[in-house]
Structure 1
Amino acid sequence: MSVVFVPEKLRSKVEVNQETLQRLLEENDQLIRCIVEYQNKGRAAECVQHQHTLHRNLIYLATIAEASPSPGTEKTADSV
């Protein structure tokens, strides 16, 4: 189950580390493969369900990326 689906009150207890991010990326890969397969079979309802999950995962990853400091923007003792 994606960390995205963890209730808000428990989400702060979930540590976002490289392993968590990698699992989400792997899940997204699988979701995309399923979406393509269902599209090829003409099964739109299943596509939509997986597209919603993929969208939620992507929004979560984007939120994490925005909250993370960019490389090179961290303040050092020399820059103060």
Structure 2
Amino acid sequence: MSVAFVPEKLRSKVEVTPETLQRLLEENDQLIRCIVEYQNKGRAAECVQHQHTLHRNLIYLATIAEASPSPGSEKTADSV
């Protein structure tokens, strides 16, 4: 199961660490490699299963990125 999968009731309690993000990126890399391999072998059912997991991981990463402040968005005392 994906490291990004967290049940709804626990989502607000999960702390996102750099290690978690790195593991997720590594998992996505492996998923992409598996998808390409299965596509080359004509095994569509396996592709779809891995594509769903990859999609879920990417949505999770996008949600984290959206919730994180961008580096230039914080106002300083000089800019106010």
Question: TM-score, normalised to structure 2's length?
Answer: 0.91
How far did 1:75 drift?
1.5
Runs of 4+ in 1 over 3 A off after TM superposition: none
Partner SS, residue 59 of structure 2? helix
Whether the aligned pair in 1 keeps the contact of 2:2 and 2:53 (CA below 8 Å) is no
> Which moves more between the two structures, 68-77 or 26-35?
68-77
Question: Which structure would you say has the larger RCO, counting Cα contacts within 8 Å and 6 or more residues apart?
Answer: 2
> Which moves more between the two structures, 61-70 or 2-11?
2-11
> Which moves more between the two structures, 7-16 or 22-31?
7-16
How far did 1:8 drift?
1.1
Number of aligned residue pairs: 80
Q: Percent identity?
A: 95
Q: Report the Cα distance in structure 2 between the residues aligned to 1:74 and 1:6, rounded to whole angstroms.
A: 30
Whether the aligned pair in 2 keeps the contact of 1:38 and 1:47 (CA below 8 Å) is yes
- Could you list the per-position Cα deviations for residues 14-60 of structure 1 after superposition, in whole angstroms to 9, with x for gaps in the alignment? 21111111111000000000000100110000000000000010011
- Unaligned segments of structure 2, at least 5 residues: none
- Unaligned segments of structure 1, at least 5 residues: none
Whether the aligned pair in 2 keeps the contact of 1:3 and 1:11 (CA below 8 Å) is no
Whether the aligned pair in 2 keeps the contact of 1:4 and 1:57 (CA below 8 Å) is yes
Q: Report the Cα distance in structure 2 between the residues aligned to 1:53 and 1:42, rounded to whole angstroms.
A: 19
Name the Cα RMSD after superposition: 1.1
How far did 1:4 drift?
2.7
Q: Report the Cα distance in structure 1 between the residues aligned to 2:25 and 2:17, rounded to whole angstroms.
A: 12
